[in-house]
Structures are given as C-alpha cells and as structure tokens.
C-alpha cells in the first residue's frame, strides 16, 4: 500500500467513525431497558427472520431471569433485503405462515408460554431496538447484537433450545444450504461419494444441491420442531448461515458452518462446532467427522 492509499484509507476510516459517533449521539437508550410490566412473565416483540428469532433467545432468557416468556412476532414489516435478493418470505420479513412454522419449536421449550403474531399486546422489550444502533451488522455475532443493546449476557457455549432427537436420522448426515450467505468458491461435489446424506430445506434449494450430490435425499418437515428433531438426531449437520444452522447452534449438536466471507455474522460457540470458508479445510473437517 503506497502513501496516497494509506492516507485515503485513514481519511475514510475517520469519516466512518465520525458518522458512527454522530448517529450514536442522537440515540437514547432503549425505553424498555429496565421494563417489568408483569410479576410472573416477560413479554417480547420481534420482527426478525426466523433465524434471527432463534439467535435472540439467549437475550430473552437473560432478561426473563426465570420468568415465563411471551413472544409476539410482528408480521407487518416489509423486507429489508435488496430487490432481487432471493428469500422465501418474498417482500415480508415475517409472515403468518412463518409464525405457524416456528411456534411448535418455541413452545416445546419450557421457558416459553406464548408464541403468536403481535396484534397490539403490551410488551416489556422490543427486540428490534438493536436496529436503531449504527453497528455494522454484517459482522460479529447475531446473538451478541441483542446483548449490546440490552446490556445482558448468556453463556453461548451451552444449548438454549432442547428437543427430543429423532432416531430416524441417526445414521444420516443432514445438509441445509440457502441461496443467501454462501461462501465464495465452496462446492459440495466431494460428498457425492458419501452414503446416507440428506437435505433439509426448500425444494429449489434441494434441487440445486442435487447438482453436486445426485443421490441426495430430501427431508420434508411440517414445522420447525420436526426440523429440530431431525437435526438433533442426525450423525452430524452441515449448514450455511440460514435458519437450520441457527437451530443446530442452539441445540449444540455436532455441526459444521459454512461461513459467508461477505457477511460473517454467525459464530460457532461451544463443543461439537466447526466452521469453514475455504474448500480444503471444509474437506478436512468432513473427512475427520466421517472417521
């Protein structure tokens, strides 16, 4: 890097920092930072994608401090993805269908007493408060975005969801790979010689993965609880930064994460976790897990 490039880099870094400080100075802390509407429960709202909802659970548990959790999901918000960015919810962040999909998994965990669409119910904490802050949300750890906003902590090395594993998939390797958040140059062709391998996800995602693994089977689930039970019961799980990996991370099953080189905002923490964004390292990890 020559002198001019260095000076330009310093200039733009300084401008970015100044912009961050100006935005931060205009903000007040979350209005519900110390909220406590009810003696026996804590109520939350969220507009996030279903994976973001899974990653917000540690914050909810930390804020609830043993009280029952009521979760209300806002289905009125338009998508924040750029036009042409492929996503199953179309132009909405969250739909009634996605609420129905995730509800059985949320309610299967004892900490939660309610999971339904938000229709004006009083809440203690709006989990979307983190979006007001000028943080670079392409980076870091989604779970910790909530910690930074509400001033809490939770041991992310421990499970924050539990389900009964499905014994049906005990010999299966399960893959999930969305069209978003793929690592550049990664391919799954080397898995075409591996037996007992299945895909969990949308039909078009499955058809795309069959190009690399022709004998790949498709696991079709009716809801997120069934998905979680399959992942909990499989030999090991491979996924990119999409909803199924969020579930695998919450369960702390044996899991391998494909890290997006452009948006590395999912972090593997705790035992049984591996990650990759380069092909030789990916193949090394899988070879060792197959032994």
- Quick: pLDDT tens for 121-134: 999 999 999 988 88
- Whether 177 and 286 map to the same domain: the answer is yes
Whether 25 is covered by a domain: the verdict is no
Residue with tokens 């100075």: 25
For 228-267, how does the pLDDT look when each residue is reduced to its tens digit (9 = 90+)?
999 999 999 999 999 999 999 999 999 999 999 999 999 9
What is the tally of structural domains in the chain?
Answer: 2
Whether 107 and 79 map to the same domain: the answer is yes
123 and 201 belong to one structural domain: no
Section 199-224 average pLDDT = 98
Q: What is the DSSP string of the chain?
A: --HHHHHHHHHHHHHHHHHHHHHHHT----TTTT----SSEEEEEE-S-HHHHHHHHHHHHHHHTTSEEEEEE---PBP-SPTT---TTTTBSS-HHHHHHHHHHHHTSTTEEEEEE-SS---SEEGGGGGGS---TTSS-HHHHHHHHHT----TTS-S---PPPGGGTT-EEEE--SSSPPTT---GGGGG-SSEEEES-HHHHHHHHTT-TT-EEE--SSHHHHHHHHHHSSEEEEESSHHHHHHHHHT-SEEEE--SS-------STTEEEESSHHHHHHHHHHHH-
- Per-residue confidence band for 54, with pLDDT thresholds at 50, 70 and 90: very high
The answer to whether residues 186 and 253 belong to one domain is: yes
d(CA 46, CA 250): 18
pLDDT at residue 37, rounded to an integer: 84
Asked if residue 161 is part of any domain, the answer here is no
* Model pLDDT for residues 131-173, shown as the tens digit of each residue: 888 889 999 999 999 999 999 999 999 999 999 999 999 999 9
Same domain membership, residue 106 and residue 54: yes
> Is the confidence at residue 186, as pLDDT, over 80?
yes
- Residue 18 in domain: no
Give the model's pLDDT for residue 31.
62
Predicted confidence at residue 92, as pLDDT, reads 63
> What is the C-alpha to C-alpha distance for residues 188 and 282, in angstroms, rounded to an integer?
9
On whether residue 66 sits in a domain, the answer given is yes
| CB 164 within 8 Å of CB 104 | no
- Indicate the pLDDT class of residue 10, thresholds 50, 70 and 90: low
Give the confidence band of 179 by pLDDT, cuts at 50, 70, 90. very high
Tell me which residue of 81, 91, 93 sits closest to 46, measured CA to CA. Answer: 93
Claim to verify: residue 133 and residue 180 sit in the same structural domain: no
Would you say residue 12 lies in a domain?
no
Whether 236 and 192 map to the same domain: the answer is yes
| Cβ neighbour number for residue 2 with a 10 Å cutoff | 7
Q: What angle do CA 169, 174, 179 make, to 5 degrees?
A: 150
Dump the DSSP string for 182-250: PPTT---GGGGG-SSEEEES-HHHHHHHHTT-TT-EEE--SSHHHHHHHHHHSSEEEEESSHHHHHHHH
Q: Is residue 6 part of a domain?
A: no
Report whether 219 contacts 174 (CB < 8 A): yes
Q: Are residues 193 and 122 in the same domain?
A: no
Of 38-42, 132-136, 175-179, 274-278, the poorest mean pLDDT is in 132-136
The reply to whether 62 and 130 lie within a common domain is: yes
Confidence class for position 44, pLDDT limits 50, 70, 90: very high
Give domain status of residue 231, yes or no: yes
**Are 106 and 193 part of one and the same domain?**
no
The reply to whether 123 and 234 lie within a common domain is no
* Domain final residue, candidates 87, 116, 150: 150
93: pLDDT strictly greater than 90: no
The range of the structural domain enclosing residue 47 comes to: 41-150
Asked if residue 3 has pLDDT above 70, the reply is: no
Same domain, 202 and 89: no
Residue 19 in any domain: the answer is no
**Chosen domain end from 119, 150, 181:** 150
Q: Which domain CATH number covers 231? A: 3.40.50.2000
| Cβ–Cβ under 8 Å, residues 161 and 250 | yes
Tell me the pLDDT of the chain averaged across its residues: 91
């Amino acid at each position: 890097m020559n002198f001019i490039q260095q000076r330009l880099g310093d200039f733009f870094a300084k401008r970015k920092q100044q912009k961050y400080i100006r935005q931060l100075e205009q903000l007040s802390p979350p209005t519900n930072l110390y909220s406590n509407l009810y003696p026996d429960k804590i109520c939350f709202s969220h507009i996030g994608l279903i994976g973001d909802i899974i990653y917000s659970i540690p914050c909810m548990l930390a804020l609830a401090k043993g009280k029952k959790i009521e979760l209300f999901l806002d289905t009125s918000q338009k998508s924040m993805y750029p036009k042409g960015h492929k996503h199953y919810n179309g132009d909405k962040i969250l739909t009634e269908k996605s609420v129905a999909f995730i509800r059985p998994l949320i309610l299967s965990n004892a900490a939660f007493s309610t999971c339904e669409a938000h229709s004006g119910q009083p809440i203690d904490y709006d989990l979307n408060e983190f979006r007001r802050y000028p943080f670079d949300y392409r980076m870091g750890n989604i779970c910790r975005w909530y910690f930074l906003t509400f001033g809490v902590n939770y041991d992310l090395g421990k499970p924050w969801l539990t389900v009964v594993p499905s014994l049906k998939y005990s010999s299966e390797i399960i893959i999930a790979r969305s069209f978003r958040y793929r690592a550049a140059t990664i391919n799954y062709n080397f898995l075409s010689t591996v037996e007992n391998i299945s895909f969990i996800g949308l039909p078009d995602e499955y058809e795309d993965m069959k190009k690399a693994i022709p004998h790949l089977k498709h696991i079709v689930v009716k809801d997120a609880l069934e998905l979680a039970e399959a992942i909990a019961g499989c030999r090991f799980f491979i996924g990119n930064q999409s909803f199924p990996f969020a579930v695998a991370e919450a369960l702390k099953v044996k899991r391998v994460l494909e890290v997006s080189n452009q948006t590395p905002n999912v972090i593997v923490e705790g035992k049984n976790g591996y990650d990759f964004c380069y092909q030789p390292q990916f193949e090394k990890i899988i070879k060792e897990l197959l032994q």
